[in-house]
Amino acid sequence: MVTNATSLSSSGVSDWLIQRFSAVILAVYTFVVLGAFIIKPDMDYNTWSTLFNSNPMRLFSLITIFALCGHAWIGLWTITTDYLNVHHVGGLATFSRLTVQALCALITVTYLFWGIQIFWGS
Amino acid sequence: MLVSIYRYNPEIDAKPIMQDIEVEIPEGKDLMVLDVLNLAKEKDPTIVYRRSCREGVCGSDGMNINGQNGLGCITPLSEAVKPGKKLVLRPLPGLPVIRDLVVDMSIFYKQFEKVKPWLMNDTPAPAIERLQSQEDRAKLDGLYECILCACCSTACPSFWWNPDKFIGPAGLLQAYRFLADTRDTAAVERLAGLDDPFSVFRCRGIMNCVSVCPKGLNPTRAIGHIRTMLVAEGT
Ligand code: SF4
Ligand code: SF4
Ligand code: FES
């Protein structure tokens, strides 16, 4: 058993399942938004904001934002642990990995709260 | 024929070099790469490499042959190199070089050891032996044949980047060999030891392991089975 403090769930199965489920949510959301454009080719701001102000869409968007952030974090965490290690950056491994991970975490959390605010803020 | 061999003695040399040696290949014969290496050693006896069985059984002469990992003793020249081209021999990638084509396999064995590659069964042993049906025995085909040559793990980028955390295709193939054994009763315990983001899940399904295995085994499929078992166990 390998332990690592910075991984999202510290369980390989959970990370793997989150990655797959969130991918499905992201794909469905993409199709729904694209579909909206196809159904309403003359989309203007009014229709757009009515669509995104409806409760189902607000909820779906919220779920998607969580899926996006989870997906992004697991992916970026994997990339940093693959490429920011002693084989690639030598003695800078821990420092560079933690710095990049902190940056990614900050950006992810910012997007998360910003997204929530857009859809659920007053 | 020109043979280019990786030469490095970390105790003396600052850097590895590629040494070119001209070797006469007997007419009309398709030698194995190991035979060619033996001929090169006749010219320069200081070349160091491992070999033993010379028939693909012991797993000691895993090396990188023109960019592809394989066993020197069962890789024919005709397969390894295009006519008129150089034969290029390097050590297995990703492991520390002890000398020339000899690599330090400690970390590879350490990963193998982690999967507890032995039968675990705490029920009382029967008088003679634990019997298996033919169908259950057949589940071990494609798993038990591994000779631990390390061609697969040293071809796997995930193993290159995390050789201390990712068990690698060879170890995982053996992990599944015991998970699939109906005589083994420690599946739950074995799976618990594998459920972290590295041991199994660092496999990205690149399938380098499958394409190089000299015994034609399929570690990717075994890893897929382990993943399914882990998901079933965890949900
Ligand atoms: S399939 Fe998995 S174990 Fe095999 S080479 Fe690719 S990442 Fe490595
Ligand atoms: S799975 Fe194949 S390549 Fe890997 S160690 Fe076993 S025999 Fe060698
Ligand atoms: S010498 Fe034994 S496998 Fe090649």
Pocket test for ligand 1, best of B160, B201, B208, B225 (most atoms within 8 A of CB): B208
CB B106 within 8 A of CB B153: no
Residue B95 region by backbone torsions, left for phi larger than 0, else alpha for psi between -120 and 50, else beta: beta
CB B230 within 8 A of CB A12: yes
Average pLDDT over residues B200-228: 97
Nearest atom in ligand 3 to the alpha carbon of residue B53 is 2
pLDDT at A10 over 80: no
Reported as a single tens digit per residue, the pLDDT across B52-82 is 999 999 999 999 999 999 999 999 999 999 9
Pocket test for ligand 3, best of B36, B58, B89 (most atoms within 8 A of CB): B58
Reported as a single tens digit per residue, the pLDDT across A68-104 is 999 999 999 999 999 998 888 888 889 999 999 999 9
Question: Judging by DSSP bridges, how do beta strands B17-22 and B97-99 pair with one another?
Answer: unpaired
Ligand number with the minimum distance to the CA of B51: 3
Please choose, from the candidates A66, A64, A70, A52, the residue with its C-alpha nearest in 3D space to the C-alpha of residue A9.
Answer: A70
**Ligand 1 lining (C-beta closer than 6 Å):** B 156, 158, 169, 203-209, 219-220, 223
Return the pLDDT at A122. 66
pLDDT at B33 over 90: yes
Ligand number with the minimum distance to the CA of B57: 3
Residue B183: partners with Cβ closer than 8 Å, 6 or more residues away? B119, B121, B130, B132
Q: Is B211 in the pocket of ligand 3 (CB under 6 A)?
A: no
A12-120 topology per CATH:
3 helical TM bundles of succinate and fumarate reductases (1.20.1300)
- Residue from B114, B196, B199, B229 to probe the interface with A (highest A Cβ count within 10 Å): B196
Reported as a single tens digit per residue, the pLDDT across B137-162 is 999 999 999 999 999 999 999 999 99
Residue B81 region by backbone torsions, left for phi larger than 0, else alpha for psi between -120 and 50, else beta: beta
CB B50 within 8 A of CB B60: yes
Question: Judging by DSSP bridges, how do beta strands B97-99 and B102-103 pair with one another?
Answer: antiparallel
Amino acid found at A40: K
Q: Is A4 touching B (CB cutoff 8 A)?
A: yes
* Percent residues over pLDDT 70 in chain B: 100
Interface touch B235/A17, C-beta < 8 Å:
yes
- Chain A stretch 63-92, residues whose beta carbon is closer than 8 A to a beta carbon of chain B: 78, 81-83, 85, 87-88
User: Which ipTM score applies to this complex?
Assistant: 0.84
- Residue from B162, B188, B201 to probe the interface with A (highest A Cβ count within 10 Å): B201
